[in-house]
Structure 1
Amino acid sequence: MILLAALLMTSTAMPSPSCQVWRREQAFARSVREHDAAAFRGFLAADAVFDANGGHPLRGPAAILPAWKAVIDGKALQLDWQPAQVVTSADGRLALSSGPYVMTTTGKDGQVHTAIGRFATTWRRGRDGAWRVQFDGGDEGRPADAAALAAFDRHRDAPCPEAR
């Protein structure tokens, strides 16, 4: 009986809110890596704001999706990111995920340019329990060197720190 109770508790244990967001952030990045616009759309809150820290924020999926189409398609540039830290609010309804991103573009000169920077995503838990992107933004980045790219690759799809 005790063994059965222990098995039920471990099999039904929900990951912490931080780990839930960690995994959502990874899946969100994967939707872009895999060029899956439908999955990407599924991560957006109805009132999401992208480029929230920029001069011209994009408000709502109707503005975000067309602006990000070439990014999701991987034609204009290749973008990848991964969480390094997730912090949740005390009430468990908001979370901030941040970490490195890598962006690769081809210039008009035909040269490939790779930048690395930091992103920040604010997630809000909906009434249905799903975490969705509320605000998304990042810095301008800097030219990526081999060491920074190697570190990024080493940590790709790392498990949530609480689950290690």
Structure 2
Amino acid sequence: MNYKPTLIFGRISIAISLLLIVSLLFIDCNSDRLADIKETEEILRKADASIQNSITQKNIDSLMSFYAEDACLLPTAEPKVEGKAAIKREWQHIFEIPDFNNKSTLTKIEISKDGSMAYTMGTYLATMQGEDGSPVEEPGKWVTVWEKQSDGHWLIVVDTYNTDIPPPDHK
């Protein structure tokens, strides 16, 4: 009869050991996931800074290197722009606006649980010359959806921005 406490104690010890092993594996997986998230955040921060630099320099080829072939741009008060070639034409049109400049600030990065998609969000202040020649400021916000490609690179699949300036009154 003395064997029962030992048997129970042995089973409890095995159960506790298994629980500890599973916990350690879970902690290790979470630390790997956190490292992946931090790495992806850094990649997207650098991409955002490069995009801002491309816009400031009006370097269309550099800017377009961040877009997927089937990307979609949703500009303010304009129809949807689909495909990299059409997005390039849209940005060329924007770059032709007299005295156009854009200062963007990244405010948020979110990454999907499986690490295949992400979005970045921020604000912008665009400045340009108005139709009457006077300077115009347009504050606004933007969201960019990124997809991780099979080669590991991140490309923009959806890009949108819109102004904070209220629309004109409608009567």
Q: TM-score, normalising length from structure 2? A: 0.68
Query: How many angstroms does 1:50 deviate by?
Result: 0.5
Out of 38, 60, 77, the residue aligned to residue 100 of structure 2 is 77
Give the structure 1 partner of residue 113 of structure 2: 90
Give the structure 2 partner of residue 62 of structure 1: 85
Larger relative contact order (Cα-Cα within 8 Å, sequence gap ≥ 6):
1
- Number of aligned pairs? 131
Stretches of structure 1 lacking an aligned partner (at least 5 in a row): 1-12, 144-164
The structure with the largest helix share of the pair is 2
Give the structure 1 partner of residue 154 of structure 2: 131
Query: How many angstroms does 1:63 deviate by?
Result: 0.6
- The RMSD of aligned alpha carbons is 2.3
Give SS of 2:115's match.
coil
Q: 1:102 to 1:53 in 2, by over 3 A?
A: closer
CA distance in 2 between counterparts of 1:84 and 1:62 reads: 28
CA contact (8 A) 1:49 1:136 kept: yes
Query: How many angstroms does 1:42 deviate by?
Result: 0.5
The alignment status of 1:39 with 2:57, answered yes or no, reads no
CA contact (8 A) 2:124 2:140 kept: yes
Q: 1:23 to 1:65 in 2, by over 3 A?
A: same
Query: How many angstroms does 1:26 deviate by?
Result: 1.6
Give the structure 2 partner of residue 21 of structure 1: 44
CA contact (8 A) 1:80 1:102 kept: yes
Give SS of 1:56's match.
coil
CA distance in 2 between counterparts of 1:78 and 1:133 reads: 21
Q: TM-score, normalising length from structure 1? A: 0.71
Cα shift readout 1:73-98 (whole Å, capped 9, x = no counterpart): 66462223131110000011111100
Cα shift readout 1:93-121 (whole Å, capped 9, x = no counterpart): 11110011111121122110112111100
Tell which structure's C-alpha radius of gyration is larger. Answer: 2
CA contact (8 A) 2:101 2:128 kept: yes
Cα shift readout 1:57-80 (whole Å, capped 9, x = no counterpart): 100111111111033466462223
